[in-house]
Chains A and B, each alone.
Chain A
Amino acid sequence: MHTSRAVGHKPGTTGHGSHTEPAWVRWLLISCAIAVISILVIIPVVNVFYQALANGFDTYRHQLLDDAETRHAIWLTLTVVPVAVVLNTIFGVAVAWAVTRFQFPGRTILIAFIDLPFAISPVVVGLMIMLMFGRLGIWGPTLEHWGIKIVFAYPGLVLATTFVTLPFVARELIPVMEALGADEETAAVSLGANGWQMFWRITLPNIRLGLLYGVILCNARAMGEFGAVRVVSGGISGETDTMPLRVEKLFQEYELPESFAVASVLTLLALVTLIAKTLLEHQTQQQLARADDEQAET
């Protein structure tokens, strides 16, 4: 009885079949969905800011900036995260170039390997680093002999964060580069461009949205990393506590308002990430659709 509507159904709209349930069922389901999102996501986010700002903005500012250990935690997060993001971005571009532009034995295994960190608990990542560089680890005594500190110090935090966020850039870039194809790059090279010219003038401008998207996700995950970092940090206040670790320490010390103040900064970052993600997703999809059209024409 609804067959006539199938003809008028526009491709790309998501509202198809929207009249197949009675209105009351529809609105009941919509209300339930909104209730679920509110209870699980919206109210907790509001609660973070409510608790952080409960004693006014001045107190909030003091809680964030007057405590030397909290200041150091913010500083540490800001210095650890960029290193992890840069390393994983270089890797992401390299691996995406290799697997989308060339065919070689072991290509599928390589792709499967990229996802491996997702299957490993962050806590186990921390353990692996302890096994390698800890005092009881394989290279621990050698490092101690040379006076190099990795575990319970900055390099360990970088290593743990990098490991956990390894797949993010690569995972976003591979589908984008696959969809764009190699035509423009092949043309550039056959017209006499060298490798780096091709990369900076053709590849990078083409993949910039996907790359930015991957970098943003990688950055958010890196800033929030907890388990791996907590194992290798040794929990030395004012030395190896990153922002998420500081949140936990303040919570353990029953300094809840301070803990929420630090948490609110991280929440703000998560919200900014979400906004950027939503905007970029839209643009990347348009770019991919254009690439598909162009390929269909040729």
Chain B
Amino acid sequence: MSSNRRILPGFRLSLGVAITYLSVMLVVPLVVCLMEVSKLTPAQFLNAVWTERTRSAYYVTLTTSFYAAVIDVVLGLLLAWVLVRYEFPFKRFFDSLVDLPFALPTAVAGLVYSSLYVANGWYGRILVPMGIKVDNTNLGIVVVLVFIGLPFVVRTLQPVLESMDADVEEAAASMGANRSQIFWRVLLPPLAPAMWTGFSLTFARALGEFGSVIFIAANKQYESEIVPVLIVSRIDEPALTEATAVAMVMLLMSFCLLMAINYLEWRSARYAH
């Protein structure tokens, strides 16, 4: 392809535009973040990122994101399976709707979810008398994160399910395996990498989610404050340096997840071909 450079035009222009743009938009802001954090001594840094309030925020963020991702893996497997394997009326309509959480502004999701689950809301009318409170609780955070992350698992599983050969299943069936054996031993193993990818994508997305959560959560310090809410409230103080320190911890978590996702995608790509 390098010989293209002599034939096709625009190498310098396109690469120049791309690199300049990425430098201005990404590299400079990240460097500025690092510079801000480097103002702190290690002790000050630890003081900013490891207090009772931040610990509680990490805990709330990590647990709610984790539960949401687990629920999304289960729901996503169900949806992907049904959408790939079965025929039913309005299938394409339901299939398209899976992408709605990508397209719907998070503020709208937060608003409508919160008002569905209040005591006189459509869902709250049934759930609140049963003693299940969702609005203004950490359960609400999980519920809205499940919505936000729903498409990730479905959309990672669908292509893998489509590419899976029916022959293997049928071979297993002809050798006397029953449906549940086929599911656990034949179908699930090749799906596992894609399920992990979907899990990580949902989890990563949930960690940084802000817009929808502030509507439905109580956002109380030490109880229901997630890390993004904590960062925003420190920015407003304004304690920018401390906010940056916490943001760096979050960035580090996200980058680790991103690397894990790339590795998993590389592995599931091997299964898909």
Contacts and interface: CB of A to CB of B under 8 A. Distances in A.
Given A36-B79, A121-B208, A115 B258 contact: yes
A163 B25 contact: yes
A166 B252 CA distance: 20
Contact of B232 (A45, A223, A230): A230
A14 B30 CA distance: 44
A223 B94 CA distance: 24
Interface string A176-204: 00000010011001100011001100000
A36 B108 CA distance: 19
Given A33-B94, A244-B108, A130 B82 contact: no
A122 interface: yes
B115 A91 contact: no
Contacts of B199: none
Nearest to A195: B9
Contact of B211 (A227, A270, A273): A227
Given A47-B115, A91-B18, A120 B254 contact: yes
Given A116-B26, A134-B240, A231-B235, A248 B14 contact: no
Given A41-B97, A162-B25, A244-B105, A17 B85 contact: yes
B208 A102 contact: no
A6 B173 CA distance: 13
Interface string A1-34: 1110110010000111110110001100110111
A30 B100 contact: no
Contacts of B211: 122, 226-227, 230, 244, 248
- The prevalent SS among residues of B at the interface is helix
A254 to B, nearest CB: 12
A220 B104 CA distance: 8
Nearest to A234: B236
A215 to B, nearest CB: 14
Nearest to B101: A41
B173 A247 contact: no
Contacts of A37: 79, 94, 97-98
A284 interface: no
Nearest to B122: A47
Contacts of A113: 22, 26
Interface stretch (B48-56, B190-198, B243-251): B243-251
B122 A32 contact: no
- The prevalent SS among residues of A at the interface is helix
Interface residues of A, number: 110
A256 interface: yes
Interface of B: 1-2, 4-5, 7-11, 13-15, 17-19, 21-22, 25-26, 28-30, 32-33, 35-36, 75, 78-79, 81-88, 92, 94, 96-109, 111-116, 122, 146-147, 150, 162, 166-167, 169-170, 173-174, 179, 204, 207-211, 214-215, 227-228, 231-232, 235, 238, 240, 243-244, 247, 250-251, 254-255, 257-258, 262
18 contacts: A6-B166, A29-B82, A95-B22, A97-B14, A102-B5, A102-B15, A103-B1, A117-B26, A127-B33, A130-B238, A182-B4, A182-B8, A227-B208, A244-B108, A251-B111, A251-B114, A251-B215, A270-B104
Given A32-B82, A87-B21, A137-B240, 15 more contacts: A6-B166, A18-B86, A37-B79, A51-B112, A94-B15, A94-B18, A102-B15, A125-B29, A127-B240, A127-B244, A138-B35, A166-B25, A189-B7, A220-B103, A248-B211
